[in-house]
Amino acid sequence: MRLPLLALLAKEPAHGYELKQALEATFGSAYPSPNIGQIYVTLGRLEKDGYVRAVDVEQSNRPNKKVYYLTAAGREALEAWVDEPTEGPRVRDEFFMKLVLAPLTGISDRMALVNRQRRHYLSLMRDLDELAERTDPGNRVARLLIEGAMLHLQADLDWLERCQEDLT
């Protein structure tokens, strides 16, 4: 969450609630809605690291609010993040551990595992489909996110098929 917040602050200074709203507007329902407390915790850590500075702004009939803005060090950190290539997804699949290890214990056979997992993936896929139905077709970012999730799921299913062919 740190760097997305830095990126938002690079655009303009903002207070915590504004950042939450900006995140939601950009990623839509496809992305888990951030908790406001979590945002303040993150901002506090960023401030401690010297990446952001908070300024108290007085409000007439309310308590003062903290408006955060980016420091030079924060900008440097952001630039470094954008410039470096991002790691691809890593296979650290829990199911694969089950599939390889479970038969050794005699608890379950691989065929049943694979079948159950397939149906689970399909039910996930159905959820994604329903999500896509509900998503505003104008929100391109959200749509792409869902499509990405679907493609990952399709890849998982294909991998599952390979596992079934080779391991059972």
Partner 1 sequence: MTQPPVVKVTGLVKIYQTGGLPVPAVRGVDLVVEAGEFVAIMGPSGSGKSTFVHMLGGLETRTSGEIWLDGKRADTLSESAWAVLRRQKVGFVFQFLNLVTNMTVADNVELPALLGGASPRQARERREYLLSELGLEERAAAAPGRLSGGEQQRVALARALANHPRLLLADEPTGNLDSRNTRDVLKLLGKVHRQGQTIVLVTHDARVASMADRVVSILDGQIVDDAPIARAPRRPVGTAGDIVELHG
Residues that bind partner 1 (CB under 8 A): 1-4, 29-32, 86-87, 89, 111, 115, 118-131, 145-150, 152-154, 157, 161-162, 164-165, 168
Nearest-approach distance from CB 129 to partner 1, in angstroms: 6
User: Among 33, 5, 19, which residue's Cα sits nearest to residue 65?
Assistant: 19
Q: Residue 57, class by beta-carbon neighbours within 10 Å (0-12 exposed, 13-18 middle, 19+ buried)?
A: exposed
Say which amino acid occupies 70.
L
Q: Which is nearer to partner 1, 64 or 108 (CB)?
A: 108
- Please give the structure tokens belonging to residue 68: 């955060």
By the 8 A CB rule, do 99 and 163 touch?
yes
- Please give the structure tokens belonging to residue 116: 């159950």
Q: Which is nearer to partner 1, 67 or 150 (CB)?
A: 150
Nearest-approach distance from CB 91 to partner 1, in angstroms: 13
Q: Which is nearer to partner 1, 69 or 81 (CB)?
A: 81
Q: Which is nearer to partner 1, 50 or 148 (CB)?
A: 148
Q: How far is CA 19 from the centre of its chain?
A: 16
Nearest-approach distance from CB 150 to partner 1, in angstroms: 6
Nearest-approach distance from CB 57 to partner 1, in angstroms: 28
Contacts of 72 (CB under 8 A, 6+ apart): none
